[in-house]
Structure 1
Amino acid sequence: MQRAAGGDFDDRVIEIETRRILNRRQEHYGVIDVGSNSIRLVVYDDLSRAPFPRFNEKSLVALGAGIGEDGRFSDKTIARAVDAVSRMSAIAKAMEVTRIDVLATEATRKAKNGDDLIAAIREATGLEPRVLAGEEEAHFTAYGVISGFFQPKGMIGDIGGGSLEVAEVIGDRVSDRLTSMPLGALPVKARLDEGYSEAKQWVDGILAESLPPLLTEPVFHAIGGGWRALARVRIAQERLPISVVHGFEMPAEELRKFAKAIAKMTPEEVAELPDVPGRRIETLAASALVMSRVLKKLAPERVVFSAFGLREGWIYRQLDAEEQYRDPLLECAQAIGLPVARVPEFSEALGRWTDDLFPGETLAGRRLRLAACALTDIGWRDHEKVRAKESFQRLLQFPFVGITHPERAFLAVVLLCRYGGKLDDEVRAVTDALLAPADLRRAEILGRVMQLGHRFSAAVPEILDHATLEIEADAVRLRILDQRSNPDSDAVLQRLKKVAKATGVDVAEIV
């Protein structure tokens, strides 16, 4: 049982488990999301705690726009949707996907003949779509945030083409405070076409009636393509060093002003924004309007963007309790790092060897340290002159889950130092904005210690187990417990001196 920050206890497993990871037999899994604006297929490498997308295809069928004045899908709209799902089903089966789930949301449940669409998909593909009720959609979306972050707390909001789902997450569970509102990008755009003031008043009226207050942590998790597009534009405008949207966060008031400005733009003005997705140009102002009004109503302190939502929440709920409780970052790091390592078992040994490196280590700190150990050999095939910087850049942009942008920077610095890299101006340009000096120092220490462990042991777990590292006020000592493992190399002492320098100690010695 691990002690969490603040003295609380958490019984989740935070360990490197080499045999379990290497012995896992992957079975590809697919989800087809029949949304109001698009139909999307995502094929994942496995049904697991850290599912990694192997293939992603989207078809802009615009089901929501295909509902006529009589409240029914047109025959043409149904035909387009069936063609899209049929093609995606064929692709998934060709990829030897063992299971395909089809989820339908707002447009299908809203249309009077939604059952006709479901029947047509069933007849054409043999698949059995599940039409989610509004609260079900909010429920699974909230679990997507739980799947994609480490113990998230606060409110989540998912804007789609037809609706906005809002729910509350508390660590590993979803509260009963959840709702679905007709504030998707398409209906809000229709209102905006009539005038900004009228649209704002209409949005505010629905929020006043249906949006629950923010009573947990002052954090709002933003999900959905429209809101991710806002994050992409902001990242590009500011030229931020990490371009990954998942885990990107902004002060809520800053984002509200930014979204309010975009909400008043024409499509032509939106098209001039940096890195704006072309398919979002027509609806970005609508998504921005909903964001600005939600933030005004909830008044959180910060907003965290999530790439995980309905599909990942659905996956999460298919897992057993033991798998759900695993840490998403460590699962991802192990899945990436262990299969490519020269000696996969060394990561586990390195985790044990560094267990006492940071006294009073929190659960959050432990998961970062073990993730770094799991990734310790990802650059060994690179040329020695580029390993450090290549690993640094790779970890900054890699699609990890369960991680914030500062934590990405932390891991990137650890791997930079593990490969002997320097904290030069290029690195500082990234870390100064993301890491406090104490966190940067801890990352450097861990990286230098990992480099020492590799050099001393030749990445052999048994040799590493024959030594301990002692960091005292007067010296940093590598204490050899078995003389057969005694290093006869100046290179080991040089790396030990780097550890000493990182910790601010003058003396380094091998005992």
Structure 2
Amino acid sequence: METLETPRRTVGLFDIGTNSVRLSVVQIRDGAPVVVNQQREMVRLGEGEFGGGELQPEAMDRCVAVCRRFRDLVRSYGDGEIVAVATSATRDAANQMRFLARLREEADLDVRVVSGREEARLIYLGVASGLHLGAARGLFVDIGGGSTELVVGTQHQHEYLDTLKLGAIRVSSLFQGKDRRAPIPEGTYRDMKQYVRDASVRSVQRIRALGVDRAFGSSGTLLNLGEICSLRTGDPDRRIPLPCLREVLRDLRGLDLEGRRRFPGIQPERADILVGGGAIVETLMEGLDIPLLETSDRSLRDGLLVDYLARTAPEAWGADLSARERSVLQLGRTCHFDEPHARHIAQRAAELFDTGREARLHDLGDRERELLVYAALLHDIGMFLSFSNHHTHTHYLIRNAELLGFDQTEIQIMAATAYYHRKKLPRRKHPQFAELDELSQGKVRVLCLLLRLAESLDRSHSGVVRSARFREAGRRRVELELYASGECQLELWGLSGHQEAFREVFKKDLVSRLFPTLRSEAS
């Protein structure tokens, strides 16, 4: 039984989508989550973006105002943690940084922008956690305002993730423009479906090759279509049979906007974009030979909670390797990296990070430590393409691999840290550095230097340096104690080349001391 003394943790989960902002307020006691409040407000953040590539001022105003109100709501439950992500509209916007700055300044919200595949993973976590799928293979379809996410997976493991630049607002904007009051001609609807067909052909082929046993749809678009179909079929579970979907969409596109708003079962605020969203799901169901789509009211918001619990209480939620670590190792192995060397560098980098913090070289936290370890694991993967300038190839691979579990800023920090493990130090004129905000640039300056030192400590790829630890040695000097199991002249020579960089970043001199064996645990 819970007592008044049982510690309670409050978490606010924000999903800032192209169409709506969603919030879940969750209280966690003894590891068990309880949703105490849920909110959703349509803000049409992506309205007007898909023509010019920028979020419109009015759309940003609406979204910031809602986020500020939702942030105040979370505060009303006491001090708590915030997990906030933004998806397609923010991800694709040229003025993304300005919007994120407004959210920080005006709503006190630090928002992570997630990749399309990471969005798909979170949606899968949210929907699958509410199903009893067992070993059956399911298809998960989520049609948002700006993108459609497709996942194939079982109850506990995804096999395929993809994201398509197809969303209800995006498709409606492309084919209906801003004025969506008129009925939709059959020719326009055929063009919509052909556009969807062309954009999804690769995914459809892959999913057909895998095969699925059941199909599930999430998001407001599919739930509303399920509600409309349920009125016609009498099915209380809001499932979408393909014949019924075709009838509903045929009837809807014959009506003007006012007629669509009065259509039985429709949510009036979706009347102008529901046909565009319907064109996506109809085309996918036809291409994949899916006669029936089950719907789920679970979503990315629920996936954020599952992911949060797996990260903060893995022992209770059955997480072994995190999604982040699995994704990093998969990329490394795909690129045939030297895993023993990479793991050795990662261990030395983590050791330098920890002892550097103790020696007051930096005040970075556990999140930055984790990013350093992953950058260390991947620092040489560019050799898969070419040894020459392999740091450049490494940067490209990390930036474009859509690693799961990370937001865009984290990926940029990892890529830049790995890029600067050799050759030039970070400079503002470098595009790899210039794309980072000022706070992230400061982190990369520290992390890349620690990685350079760690990489020098295994220059021979022999693992001879078994431990490396910083120790304060006065106001202007730091000692690096090295414990080696054998000859390490290459490693010492490599370290000597970083003296000037160390002085530039940490404003202290570095002195190395070599010990022939590891210190005992008691020392």
TM tier, smaller: 0.5 to 0.7
Contact 1:64/1:161, CA 8 A, preserved across alignment: yes
Contact 1:47/1:315, CA 8 A, preserved across alignment: no
Match of 2:303 in 1: 313
Contact 1:48/1:319, CA 8 A, preserved across alignment: no
Q: CA deviation at 1:113?
A: 1.0
**What CA distance in whole angstroms lies between the structure 1 residues aligned with 2:140 and 2:120?**
9
**What CA distance in whole angstroms lies between the structure 1 residues aligned with 2:270 and 2:71?**
26
**What CA distance in whole angstroms lies between the structure 2 residues aligned with 1:144 and 1:105?**
15
Q: CA deviation at 1:54?
A: 2.9
Structure 1 counterpart of 2:168, which letter? A
Is 2:120 aligned against 1:138? yes
TM-score with structure 2 length normalisation? Answer: 0.52
1:102 match: secondary structure: strand
**What CA distance in whole angstroms lies between the structure 1 residues aligned with 2:158 and 2:29?**
21
Offset from partner CA, 1:318-340 (integer Å, 9 cap, x none): 223454469xxxxxxxxxxxxxx
> CA 1:238–1:253 in 2, change beyond 3 Å: closer, same or farther?
closer
The structure 2 residue matched to 1:150, chosen from 132, 149, 164, is 132
**What CA distance in whole angstroms lies between the structure 1 residues aligned with 2:30 and 2:164?**
31
Contact 2:50/2:170, CA 8 A, preserved across alignment: no
Match of 1:61 in 2: 43
**What CA distance in whole angstroms lies between the structure 1 residues aligned with 2:128 and 2:3?**
22
Contact 1:104/1:129, CA 8 A, preserved across alignment: yes
Contact 1:270/1:284, CA 8 A, preserved across alignment: no
> CA 1:287–1:69 in 2, change beyond 3 Å: closer, same or farther?
closer
Q: What is the aligned-residue RMSD (CA, Å)?
A: 3.0
Is 2:293 aligned against 1:303? yes
The structure 2 residue matched to 1:283, chosen from 273, 283, 290, is 273
**What CA distance in whole angstroms lies between the structure 1 residues aligned with 2:132 and 2:5?**
25
2:9 match: secondary structure: coil
2:12 match: secondary structure: strand
**What CA distance in whole angstroms lies between the structure 2 residues aligned with 1:110 and 1:282?**
22
Match of 1:186 in 2: 169
**What CA distance in whole angstroms lies between the structure 1 residues aligned with 2:31 and 2:200?**
33
Offset from partner CA, 1:190-225 (integer Å, 9 cap, x none): 244271121111111111134332424331110110
> CA 1:106–1:118 in 2, change beyond 3 Å: closer, same or farther?
same
Match of 2:230 in 1: 235
1:64 match: secondary structure: coil
Match of 2:13 in 1: 31
Structure 2 counterpart of 1:160, which letter? G
Structure 2 counterpart of 1:168, which letter? V
Offset from partner CA, 1:260-310 (integer Å, 9 cap, x none): 435634334433332221211111111211111110011135321111121
If asked which structure has higher relative contact order (CA below 8 Å, sep 6+), I would say 1
Match of 2:74 in 1: 92
Contact 1:221/1:306, CA 8 A, preserved across alignment: yes
> CA 1:278–1:253 in 2, change beyond 3 Å: closer, same or farther?
closer
**What CA distance in whole angstroms lies between the structure 1 residues aligned with 2:30 and 2:176?**
43
Is 2:143 aligned against 1:159? yes
Match of 1:169 in 2: 153
> CA 1:291–1:20 in 2, change beyond 3 Å: closer, same or farther?
farther
> Which runs of 5 or more residues in structure 1 are unaligned?
1-18, 327-511
1:65 match: secondary structure: coil
**What CA distance in whole angstroms lies between the structure 2 residues aligned with 1:87 and 1:313?**
23
Identity across the alignment (%):
24
The answer to which of 76-85 and 183-192 deviates more is 76-85
Contact 1:218/1:302, CA 8 A, preserved across alignment: no
Q: CA deviation at 1:22?
A: 12
Within 5 Å, give how 1:264-275 maps onto structure 2: 264-266=253-255, 267-275=257-265
Is 2:59 aligned against 1:77? yes
Contact 1:259/1:292, CA 8 A, preserved across alignment: no
TM-score with structure 1 length normalisation? Answer: 0.54
The structure 1 residue matched to 2:111, chosen from 123, 126, 129, is 129
1:27 match: secondary structure: strand
> Which runs of 5 or more residues in structure 2 are unaligned?
178-187, 320-523
Contact 2:229/2:244, CA 8 A, preserved across alignment: no
Q: CA deviation at 1:80?
A: 2.8
> CA 1:199–1:30 in 2, change beyond 3 Å: closer, same or farther?
same
2:150 match: secondary structure: strand
> CA 1:24–1:287 in 2, change beyond 3 Å: closer, same or farther?
farther
Match of 2:463 in 1: none
Count residues in correspondence.
Answer: 301
Q: CA deviation at 1:181?
A: 0.9
Is 2:95 aligned against 1:113? yes
**What CA distance in whole angstroms lies between the structure 2 residues aligned with 1:60 and 1:235?**
24
Match of 2:207 in 1: 213
> CA 1:200–1:120 in 2, change beyond 3 Å: closer, same or farther?
same
Contact 1:189/1:286, CA 8 A, preserved across alignment: yes
> CA 1:199–1:236 in 2, change beyond 3 Å: closer, same or farther?
same
